[in-house]
Amino acid sequence: MSFELFGRKINKIGVIGSGQIGPDIALHFTKSLCQYKVPIIVKDVVEKAIAAGKDKLEKKINKGVQQGAFKPDEAKAMLENVEFTLDKNRLKDCDLIVEAATERVEIKRAIFAELESLCPNNAIFASNSSHLEPEVIFANMKNKSNCLCAHYFFPAERNRMIEIIPSEMTSQTAVDFLMNLYESMGKFPIKVRSRYGYAIDPIFEGLFLAAALCVQEGIATSKQVDSIACKVLGLGVGPFTAMNLTGGNPITQEGLNLLNTKVMRWFKSPTILDDRILSGKPWDVPQKGEEITYSNEIFKTVSENFLGAYFGLVTEVLNSGIVYPGDLEMGCEAALVMKPPLKLMNETGIKRSLQLVENYADRHDEFVVPGILRKQAERNEQWEIPYVRREDRENVSILTIKRPAVLNALNKDVISQLHKHILNIKDESSIKAVVITGYGTKAFVSGAEIGMLASIKTSEEAERTCEHFQNALILIENLGKPVICALNGLAFGGGSELSLACSARVARNGIRTLFAQPEPKLGIIPGAGGTQRLPRIIGFERAWTMLRTGNPISSVQAKEWGLVDHLVEGDIVSASVKFALDIVKKKVMLKPIPRGPVSVGMLPNVDIGGLSGKIDSILQRAILEGARLPLEDGLKLEAKLFGECVDTKDYHIGLTNFLETNLKQPAKFVHE
């Protein structure tokens, strides 16, 4: 068998190197592709490395079985799908090879020279380098069009971030394919222009340098620095703990010294790192459960050092222009497991952020204050964090909601950006249609951001929030051009409501859980049109049950009910673009949603189980009273009734339960 994506087949994948990261890369591939029976070949030149890599893979898969991540038969298939070998000829028919050997140019060049003579002409060669530019690694390749870097992050099988770094010689086809391949396998690929260290590692290694300097300068101990870093930056583990876990001291030492000449003179290996490598000892770090104490003065000094360095390093990368701002934001959060920097600067205040960077630069020679941050502070404007990406294809604008860490959940910023894009598209005569989709394969939009809902304190604030969402959806609904919702995954709550405002919906076939309005389980009602548009599209009898129970339906059921217009296999966006153009050309005619009052008819009895009777009574009013009104007035009624939910006890019980249990246990509503 094979895996096919955008007309290209992957029959076999090779991984070069069975050391620190190669087996983890192989694990990610087999986890994603063993169902397609795409074999993964792990090649090394040392028998001991082969044995250790195989053992590492088996232990991780067996641990996954113990933790319930894999079923025994799945684990067996994953293991059998990976072959560890010393035989280079097993790579002959690989369509994709990821090299994960030692970070040495001469070794990498020798590997790829051999691979070029072994593999098919159209094979994609990717180096899992953490620093080296693709132009350097692939300098001697005859065909550079399929060569690029693919930088994984620790641990490679679980960390969802991956940097894709093409050279100027890499074909766009190869880049697009690899980006889409990794996205289809659950990764968060970001495209980065070639520069030593790429986008994320200068931040990671720069923060380690900032941590090391705090210790070297006698400000705090390594334990204190690690503890404070976790509190201030939201890190899962501190910089010194990360070095111990990854064995990263040597590569960080080399990286810092080369960043010194290629990025900023401030970068250089500190004395305590050089000494630590010579001694071979691990860093002294907090142990599990250990309480680390420090004075307020130490906390203030270390935290200001970290924030100054972090904001300076991030804006240096932005200033270089090598990466899209939204991708850098996502990269820091996902790859480094820390607070996203642009959001953190906005919360800190842009002028205060600049002051922290300037203070850090004053204390540390050759640390550069980026011009892009100075200009932002002069304007005194917050960073705009782009969550909605626009791409135009064949007179169709594709809008992609990209917040994969929260399954593309909607907040006020996302809605405002959608509103802005739609307004621009409305006035562009060259754009004939729109496709709205979500990033990744799990979710179109998982709903409204719960933290945003939980922060609402009054019924008036709730009503205004609903109106903010509704205004954008009304604009989509009345655009005058076809708007197709490409349902790449589940659409819950606000995601379902966004799709309902579109002219039509296209979904992947075989999605078991596609649509749901789960608001009653949270102690609220839909607030962005769910009570008004859903009954008008699928009929009141079906909507009555679906809305009041909050239970989901599959893509097949959605198609049967008329909620989905078209089910597709493969590339959902391309299929939606074609569908949109067929509508423009009048090859397909759509049935408009009724805009006036509608007849309800006979409604079934519904068992709401342990859901809130109080919220259910408000929900019934929204559905029934809204049906007697024109759609626009029904939406206003829904917003008003959503506001009434805030004044109930069950609203707070439901949202608190979600925040604490993620609905793993039902809320204990009191029906008040």
Residues marked as catalytic: 497, 519
Distance of CA 562 to the CA centre of its chain: 30
Phi/psi class of residue 331: alpha, beta or left (left: φ > 0; alpha: ψ in -120 to 50)? alpha
Separation CA 398–CA 506 (nearest Å): 14
Residue type, 362: D
Phi (first) and psi of residue 57, to 5 degrees:
-65, -45
Separation CA 536–CA 351 (nearest Å): 50
Separation CA 415–CA 498 (nearest Å): 10
Please say whether the beta carbons of 256 and 269 come within 8 A.
yes
Separation CA 658–CA 521 (nearest Å): 9
Please say whether the beta carbons of 417 and 408 come within 8 A.
no
Phi (first) and psi of residue 314, to 5 degrees:
-65, -45
Please say whether the beta carbons of 503 and 583 come within 8 A.
yes
| CA distances in angstroms from 612 to 202, 404, 482, listed in the order given | 51, 31, 38
DSSP per position, 473-527: HHHHHTSSS-EEEEESSEEETHHHHHHHTSSEEEEETT-SS-EE--GGGGT----
Residue type, 152: Y
Residue positions counted in the chain: 672
Separation CA 353–CA 170 (nearest Å): 37
Separation CA 622–CA 643 (nearest Å): 12
Rg (alpha carbons) of the chain, rounded to whole number:
27
Helix (H, G, I), strand (E, B) or coil at 358: helix
Neighbouring-strand partners of residue 192: 323
Of 481, 373, 478, 507, the residue nearest 425 (C-alpha): 481
Please say whether the beta carbons of 410 and 495 come within 8 A.
yes
Please say whether the beta carbons of 252 and 207 come within 8 A.
no
3-state DSSP: the chain helix, strand, coil percent, rounded to 5? 50, 15, 35
Neighbouring-strand partners of residue 152: 162
Neighbouring-strand partners of residue 566: 506
